[in-house]
Amino acid sequence: MSLVMTLPTHKPVLLQEAIEALQAQPRKRYVDCTLGCGGHAQAILERIQPGGKLLGIDTDPEAMRVARVRLSNYAESTTMVNDNFVNLETICKENNFLPVQGILFDLGISSAQIEEAWRGFSFQQDGPLDMRFSPTQELTAADIINILTEDKLAELIRNYGEERYSRQIAKHIARHRPVATTLGLANIIERAVGGRRSRIHPATRTFMALRIATNRELESLITALKQAVTCLDHKGRLVVISYHSLEDRLVKNFMKQESTGCLCPPGTPKCTCGHEPTLKLISKKVITPSPKEIESNTRSRSAKLRVAERL
């Protein structure tokens, strides 16, 4: 299937809400840290003409190829960098793209990545247990699942997947190693949880945990959020869309901390931390998709958008 044929199927989540939260304006500069297939980036570019510039970052070279086709009409206004957003500040400096008036993170995994069996993200079709966002990354999900001790594997599945049956699953995986394919792993997990019923597939949380660990998603996110504050201009907007509780909790706590002055423990007679607020919360209530959007794009149902402004 050609790239052009795949473009119309892309549905960016919380599109209008994200663009409004960014306050995208002509002649301003914006960064899309998760360029993906370019849906949010296209809407930003439409809003910031004439004279606006966009820096798009993505670690996935396949997604970058799609984005280049989608954004070809805005080539002169767009700079694309195939890199991890953990290097946000360096990327902005190298491209003379500072300060910026808005930064967007659309976290998680794209439908395009899930649909490609060879990427190893899906337990609904067979493929190698890869899960890397970029082929340049050293460890695959198979490496992790076959190297870790049973206890460490259970800890990973519990902490990153919030899986209540993590110990049983890790025990069954350890018994059947090496595990090399997505369906092979999914079958092991199904046998581990037995006849227990849930509204989601029993492999969902374990696959999420492995994906997060393989790509070091949470560590990269907190590093990138700190850099985003540095890169933002006065009154620049930081907008983050997350899809599971670990991401959202991290974003919520980061924005809360950066919008607070003293961080000393309660009861401390005199501030010793010297912390100064760098952000202002724009909406204390999280923004979620409308029922209409969820109906038309079920992937959006777990999305949460948070926004803050640089002081």
Count of structural domains within the chain? 2
- 3-class SS of residue 303: coil
The answer to whether 171 touches 150, Cβ cutoff 8 Å, is yes
Residues 66 and 13 in one domain: yes
The answer to whether 251 touches 242, Cβ cutoff 8 Å, is yes
What pLDDT is recorded for position 196? Answer: 62
Boundary-marking domain end, from 165, 196, 215: 215
The answer to whether 123 touches 186, Cβ cutoff 8 Å, is yes
Residues 72 and 15 in one domain: yes
Residues 148 and 193 in one domain: yes
Residue with tokens 């490609």: 116
Residues 246 and 234 in one domain: yes
Residues 48 and 140 in one domain: no
Residues 139 and 169 in one domain: yes
Tens of pLDDT along the chain (311 residues) come to 344 444 445 688 999 999 999 999 999 999 999 999 899 999 999 999 999 999 999 999 988 999 999 999 999 999 999 999 999 999 999 999 999 999 999 997 877 777 788 888 888 899 999 999 998 999 999 999 999 999 999 999 999 999 999 999 999 999 999 999 999 999 999 999 876 667 788 999 999 999 999 999 999 999 999 999 999 999 999 999 999 999 999 999 999 999 887 777 777 777 877 778 899 999 888 999 999 999 888 888 899 999 999 99
- With respect to residue 112, please indicate whether it lies within any of the assigned structural domains: no
Residue with tokens 């594997």: 153
Residues 306 and 187 in one domain: no
- With respect to residue 113, please indicate whether it lies within any of the assigned structural domains: no
Q: Which of these, 43, 19, 10, 207, lies nearest to 110 by C-alpha position?
A: 10
Residues 61 and 180 in one domain: no
Residues 99 and 149 in one domain: no
Residue 5 tokens, joined: 């044929």
How far is 1 from 103, CA to CA, in rounded Å?
32
Q: Give the domain CATH number at 129.
A: 1.10.150.170
Owning domain of residue 39: 3-106+217-310
- 3-class SS of residue 153: helix
Residues 209 and 225 in one domain: no
Boundary-marking domain end, from 215, 245, 265: 215
Boundary-marking domain end, from 215, 232, 265: 215
